[in-house]
Amino acid sequence: MISKVVAVCSGKGGVGKTNICVNLALALTDLGRKVLLIDLDFGLANAEILLGIKPLKTFKDLKEENFDFSKLITRGLWGIDFISGGRGFSWLNNLTPEDRRNLLISWRNFVSDYEIVILDTAPSINLDNILFLKNADLIALVSTTEAPALLDAYVSMKTLFSVLKISKFGLLLNKTSNFSQAKAIFKNFFTCTMERLNVRLGYLGNIPYDESVKHAVNDQKPFYLTFPNSLASKSISRSADLLMEELLITTDEVSIEP
pLDDT-derived band of residue 251, with 50, 70 and 90 as boundaries?
very low
Q: Which residues pair with 126 in a beta bridge?
A: none
How many folded domains does the chain comprise? 1
Mean pLDDT value across the chain: 89
Q: Is pLDDT of 36 > 80? A: yes
- Domain membership of residue 255 (yes or no) is no
pLDDT-derived band of residue 1, with 50, 70 and 90 as boundaries?
low
- Domain membership of residue 254 (yes or no) is no
Q: Is pLDDT of 86 > 60? A: yes
CATH of the domain at 231: 3.40.50.300
- Domain membership of residue 72 (yes or no) is yes
For residue 107, give every residue at least 6 positions away whose Cβ sits within 8 Å of its Cβ, in sequence order, or none: 67, 69, 132, 135
pLDDT-derived band of residue 91, with 50, 70 and 90 as boundaries?
low
- Domain membership of residue 22 (yes or no) is yes
- Domain membership of residue 256 (yes or no) is no
How remote is the C-alpha of 163 from its chain's centroid?
20
Q: Is pLDDT of 253 > 50? A: no
- Domain membership of residue 257 (yes or no) is no
State the average pLDDT over residues 36-51: 83
- Domain membership of residue 221 (yes or no) is yes
Q: Is pLDDT of 256 > 70? A: no
Lowest mean pLDDT across 87-91, 177-181, 211-215: 87-91
Mapping DSSP to helix (H, G, I), strand (E, B) and coil, where does residue 250 land? Answer: coil
Q: What is the pLDDT of residue 9?
A: 93
Angle (deg, nearest 10), helices 147-164 and 179-196? 40
167 is in which domain, residue-wise?
A: 4-248
Q: What is the pLDDT of residue 89?
A: 66
- Domain membership of residue 130 (yes or no) is yes
Q: Is pLDDT of 248 > 90? A: no
What distance separates the 2 farthest-apart alpha carbons in the chain?
51
State the average pLDDT over residues 125-147: 88
